[in-house]
Chain A
Amino acid sequence: MNRPDPRLLLGATCLAGPIALALLSLAWTPFAVNGLDIAHRLLPPDAAHPFGTDGFGRDLLSRSMAGLRATIATALAATGLGAAIGIPLGITIAASHERRSAPLRRLADLVFAFPPVLTAAMLAALWGGSAAGAVVAIGAFDVPVFARIAAAAALPVLAQDFIAASRLAGRGPLGVLWWHILPNIAAPLIVQASLQAGIAVLAEAGLTYLGFGLPPPAPSLGGMLKDYQSALGAAPWLVLIPGALVTLLVLGCNLLGDGLRDRLAR
């Protein structure tokens, strides 16, 4: 069974296009992201404007590229934040005595009561919508997920002899964590990171739709859906394309996660 899982291939394909567009937008976009061109407003997709133009004549491809960049950056940062806090917390839970770990578990689960939209709403009310607020709101929600997975995976590893041997050899707790525990629990964490990145993309799109994320005029996929929703009848591509890009990213993350789960579990 050396043939690659079709889901891995398909997932990577789904992600490759959007990621390439996002990276390209760092250096070049076909038109200025917020460049108005009223003469060419609401053009359907054609050779000059592959994704068409919006009600101000702005090129949708250029805006989508910048929006993808913001979405991907937010999703990666949020997932990274959740993992960076959740994984050490999970290992601490696994390593501590039941009496101390049970309240920690409960405390971590408490975060589930604050879906990203609630946290982002509070942050947006104080400081206005921001990409950083979206990262914090989504990342915080990831903490208990990573903590649960890390705790479950670390528990059997911690009981093994080589951990005790390494401790006896004089490695400190951080050394044991980094060199021995983390490599042995990496597989389920990588799978979960892929799935959480997909959830983060969905959440980012929702938050920018509400205006709780990256504020306009910076293009965001959710913000575009909000702006173009009223043009649904006249220019359906304006609504179809940003939503399809979000779906493609999420599908890619999910396929990659599912494929990795089966491959790494063997």
Chain B
Amino acid sequence: MDALTTLRSFASRLLWLALALLACSAITFAILDILPGDPARAMLGMNATDEALTALHAKLGLDRPPMMQYLAWLDDLAHLRLGTSMTYDIPVAQLLSGRLAITLPLAAGAMTIALSLGLPFGAIAARRRHRADGVMLDAAAQLLQSVPDFWLGIALVGIFALHWRFAPSGGFPGWAHPAAALGALVLPALALALPQAAVLMRVMRSALISIEPQDFIRSARARGLSPARIFLRHALPHALLPVLTIATMQISFLIGGAVVVETVFDLPGLGRMLFDAVGNHDLVVLRDLVLLVAAAITLLSMLAEWLATRLDPRGQPR
């Protein structure tokens, strides 16, 4: 692949990303600001006076036509000017940085755990699928992938925090105490990761099983390659493609799950911020936050998609 085609495919991806982000912002705006329901009234409650409503309308810019409001929001976003929280009267950006410092490590840790458990166990389950332990492993994964992550979180608290007192049951000490902070994230990360690890394990298992009877594996075997080499050089790269596709879709599940799991463990992350914004009817925070999360999912999904085309030689433009 020469430099020009790389550049062109990169540029077209960048264009798609920009369009996708624009569409995300349009969807968010359409739901929050165009659907019937007055944000100002939602914030102030039913007993608000007309003067208070008018004042808040003016402050939020709700007295302008919707299109102008949308463009003003986009302009703010383009200049990285996030809104100011109605509840706390602090800039959203300032609220965000502290929250991200919890949610990002939590989600990344969960993904790492899910991959590092799911892939090896998937390979083992595929290899030993005709034996009792392999069948048991698959059945356990089938069960684990049906467990709600936040319930698993509550159960982990019951076992490791209340019973054995291994780990804190919730709360976050802050990154000033790195060991304690990591400790506070272990149980939530496990709760998020284990069901997703089970999903990845089953995808890995069925991918490896479907590859085994194929001709290129047989010819590799006929050439006298060692089983380890066949697995690493021939089977694994093929199996990783479906795994990557599913892992990409899991980004969305992980971020959605993080919102709930953070609430279980009382972690002041993005999820709690979302939860609080809904409870306080703080639509300014909510709008920026929803767009941020949607943009993050879009960006990560596109990265994973790009990675998949790099891994798959069939997808390369000739």
Binding site for B on A (CB under 8 A): 106-107, 109-110, 112-119, 121-127, 198, 202-203, 205-206, 209-212, 225, 229, 232-233, 236, 239-240, 243, 246-247, 250-251, 254-255, 258
Contact = CB atoms under 8 A, between A and B. Distances in A.
Contacts of B157: 232
A247 B31 contact: no
18 contacts: A109-B301, A110-B23, A112-B249, A113-B298, A121-B278, A121-B290, A125-B282, A125-B283, A125-B286, A126-B42, A206-B256, A225-B151, A232-B162, A233-B158, A243-B154, A247-B143, A254-B145, A254-B146
Interface string B285-313: 01000100111011001000000000000
Nearest to A109: B301
A220 to B, nearest CB: 13
Contacts of A113: 20, 24, 252, 294-295, 297-298, 301
A196 B157 CA distance: 29
B39 A233 contact: no
A210 B142 contact: no
Interface of B: 16, 20, 23-24, 27-28, 31-32, 35, 37, 39, 42, 142-143, 145-148, 150-151, 154-155, 157-158, 162, 249, 252-253, 255-257, 259-260, 263-264, 274-275, 277-279, 281-283, 286, 290, 293-295, 297-298, 301
Contact of A247 (B42, B148, B252, B255): B148
A233 B15 CA distance: 53
A123 B255 CA distance: 18
A106 B16 contact: yes
A250 B157 CA distance: 22
Contacts of A233: 158, 162
B290 A198 contact: no
Contacts of A114: 24, 27, 290, 294
A236 B143 contact: no
Contacts of A258: 142
A255 B142 contact: yes
Contact of A225 (B20, B154, B158): B154
Contact of B148 (A107, A205, A212): A205
Given A210-B275, A254-B145, A247 B151 contact: yes
Contacts of A206: 148, 150, 256-257, 260
